[in-house]
Structure 1
Amino acid sequence: MNSLKRDPGLRLPIWDYPIDQCDDISRAYIKVEPYQQILTNYPFSGPEKHYHQFQSSWFKLFPSWLEYSSSKDAAFCLSCYLFTKEANWTPWINHVGKNPNLPHNIAEQACKDLMSEAQHIEKIIKKQTSKQIVKNRLRLKTSIDSIRWLAFQACAFRGHDERPKSKNRGNFLEMIKILASYNKSVDEVVLENAIGNVKYTLPMIQKEILHILSRKVRDVIREEIGDAKFCIIVDEARNDSKRKQMTLVLRFVIKMVFYVKDFLTLFTSQILWR
């Protein structure tokens, strides 16, 4: 950035720089502000009958973009240099104005947007993505909590009619509705308020969450058993749909040890059966 030319008449066109460097170069020029060279006398130019010269007082009228090049004896616009292909301009009336669609006004706004990181597309996307992640996690947590409670209470999940207009959509969906009624943040992200199809309420999702919970329970049981001895109890029965179901129960002993400081002794408590 230190090698960038300050004199607008000696600069490379912004479009000649590598595309991945243009934004950084533009920010650098905006930060150092327009090149406003104040001379005692500016050269005269123009036809003999209409000599004119640049005036340093013009810098006060347009401090944010007006530049002067002594090498070219010409006025330049910093904003237009950065965001249009015509940085050198004449006459005045064609360059500035109140029309927001003028190239100069569009370039001025582009400079402001470039220096405002909050408006950059990557910042906006990141912000929206972060908010969506929070909402997705809250939606998923609501489904997990509902499934845990229903599984612990041995309640059925599905309902006969789970459509939105149904009076009873089943224990799982009704549980989510109850949780949403007590929390506005939950209500904004679950069921019909969810964005798209990311509701985490499909039977397939319910089974997947149940599978994860059951796997964690089995892991805890294995840790509790450790190297101890255990026995297996197997039972088989038919459910209401005449399908055979086999139950596998592990029976093992846990020895709980307590340390007592007063007597500096070690003893074993009563045996717990599972």
Structure 2
Amino acid sequence: MRGQEYDGASNIRGAWNGLQALFLKECPYAYYVHYFAHQLQLALVAASKDVQDIWLFFSKLNSIVNLVSASPKRHSATRWSSHFGSVSSLIDLFGPSRTIIENLSKNGLTNSIRGEAKGVYLAMLSFEFVFILHLLREMMGITDILCQALQRKTQDIVNAMNLVSSTNALLQNLRENGWHTFFQNVESFCKEHDIVVPDMSASYTVGTGRSCQQNDSITFNHHYQVDIFNAAIDFQLMELNQRFSESTMELLILGTTLDPKDTYKSFKVDGICDLTGKFYPKDFQDEMRALRS
């Protein structure tokens, strides 16, 4: 049996210059399979950060988590240990967290603490921060089940591949059909916490705020739906597709036909023939005709 299994670094998995590519030149049937137990959620977060606004958001989120966690008035029944936990906790306890940050901006022990708190407090009051906060919870809520399942010590490969497919489908559905419901939820949250919602039909401005300085005049709706919402989901889908390509998923599923568990309960003649015919044809040239019988 031949195969490759590494972490997700680009110099390892790169299709053209990575280590897997070098192996494939020498051994074309040493198929690359991404390491299942890798922290997929971290990789998906990194993919989201390819959207500049989300990268900026995480710098603020880290400060909020550090400030709230260090505060003696923090709420102990929260999950700040992961990105998904931090995002979910901040939404659930947005009001109390905002109060803690505001108090630190006025009464922090040092100038640096007060300055950092003031900066993140102003960020928390912005529509863009709240928008991205909810978008990340929406996306991570979809991917979290898959991420947890892939880290189990005993893993059913077919179940794992089904989870990959359903995760992709849910993300795609969110992108294509979820915008209006999502935006309504964000709007409702903003009204509850007195955060100003921009006129989505107005021209989106950056820099000095003068729209005439922009080469491309776009609306707020375009900025949030296309440049952030769609773009972030697209990067998530791209990351998942790179790690779990259709050919890799088919290879793994067909491979389960050789699973000796329960006296080869999963054994299927068609699966064995598909496995050899599609993935290892040169290894079974002479035996291919007789294999089925």
TM-score by length of 1: 0.25
**Greater Rg by CA:** 1
Higher fraction of strand? 1
Higher fraction of helix? 2
Q: With a CA cutoff of 8 Å and minimum separation of 6, indicate the structure with the bigger relative contact order.
A: 2
